[in-house]
Amino acid sequence: KFEKAWLTFGIGALLVFLTVLGVSAFYLGNQPPSCLVTIDPAKVDTTKPFNEPGLKKVEGKDWDYELVFVASAFSYNPASVEVPYGAKVKIMATTKDVVHGFQVAGTNINMMLEPGYISEYTTTFDKAGEYLILCNEYCGVGHHMMTSKIEVV
Ligand code: CUA
């Protein structure tokens, strides 16, 4: 005779769960964190900070450095960059033409670079060595040659 009560409790709990999930997804706008900011792909070269790709020390922010990458078929600018060991780095990347990938081998950094959007990822490189950056979105005949390198020293 308790079956009915338990069944009611079970369905009630399910409804509460679905409501919470629904509210968090649609009302609070919980979305995967990438491609938050827009940019005109034709003006990448003259838009800050993409007019100066590479590593830059910053003050008064939650991170120590900004590392800017511009992707275009079939390379990244910069093609190689040194990052100080243990520094907190905000990676900011975009593309001038088609969709490219931005995967840092050996880490969990794996972004998609879409024309018109800025992809960001903040991380700390706490292991010295070379990190290969790969394009994992097929972008044309030179796709397989499209790489860059982060050297943590
Ligand atoms: Cu760029 Cu594949």
Percent of the chain predicted with pLDDT > 90: 79
ipTM reported for the complex, 2 dp: 0.98
Q: Which whole number is the average pLDDT over 10-15?
A: 91
- 132, 147 in Cβ contact below 8 A? yes
Looking at residue 27, what is its pLDDT?
61
107 pLDDT band, cuts 50/70/90, is very high
100 lines ligand 1 (CB under 6 A): yes
How far does residue 80's CA lie from ligand 1's centre (Å)? 17
Biggest CA–CA distance in the chain, Å, is 73
Q: Write out the two tokens for 109.
A: 């950094």
Computed on alpha carbons and rounded to an integer, the radius of gyration of the chain in Å comes to 21
The letter for the amino acid at 25 is A
Q: Which whole number is the average pLDDT over 90-103?
A: 96
Looking at residue 1, what is its pLDDT?
76
Q: Alpha-carbon distance 77 to 102, whole Å?
A: 12
pLDDT tens, residue by residue, 37-50: 899 999 999 999 99
Percent of the chain predicted with pLDDT > 70: 92
Q: Please measure the distance between the N-terminal and C-terminal CA atoms of the chain and give it in whole angstroms.
A: 69
The CA-atom distances, in angstroms, between 16 and each of 8, 21, 94, 118, 137 are: 12, 9, 40, 36, 39
pLDDT tens, residue by residue, 121-146: 999 999 999 999 999 999 999 999 99
135 lines ligand 1 (CB under 6 A): yes
How far does residue 94's CA lie from ligand 1's centre (Å)? 12
36 pLDDT band, cuts 50/70/90, is low
